[in-house]
Amino acid sequence: MVENSANLSKFVFRITIDSQLYKDQQFFISIEISPGYPVDSPRVQFILYEDVEVVEDVENAKNPQEVIVVDDEPPRSTVIPLHPHIYSNGHICLNLLGEDWTPACSLESILLSIQSMLSTNEKEERPPDDVDYVKRAPLNPKQTKFVYHDDDV
């Protein structure tokens, strides 16, 4: 896990999936909690590892305001996972992150939902509108009204 040492509102979680499709890969999920949390959903998206400053000694970090890694194991993968509900820019089309969000949801429930979504996937593909979406997508995935192409993935 990665955390912002200043206010604990930004986290990066490293996940691995026990499936043939994602074997020996690690993925990184950025979660930013807004001041309106838990009523307001957090900003959640996959990121590339290069987006994260790697620091072994937190006290001597060059910029402690930045996101820092709290462990020093190097990644085995620096890609956004291929999945029919994950865009190549890291945005995740998951109703829990949008219209189905409730204050009863937690960071753990978000991570478990994403992990479950990945572990049951058998399709090595992007959403059908990936190229068009990425061209026009806002930086913040919460500003997107996703079109759900299917519910069977």
Question: Which residues are marked as active site?
Answer: 93
Residues pairing with 86 in the sheet? 83, 92
Burial class (CB within 10 angstroms; exposed 0-12, middle 13-18, buried 19+) of 6: exposed
* Dihedral of the alpha carbons of 26, 138, 145, 8, in degrees to the nearest 10: 50
Query: Is there a contact between 53 and 65 (Cβ–Cβ < 8 Å)?
Result: no
d(CA 153, CA 151): 6
Taking the alpha carbons of 73, 76, 80, 86 in that order, is the dihedral positive or negative? negative
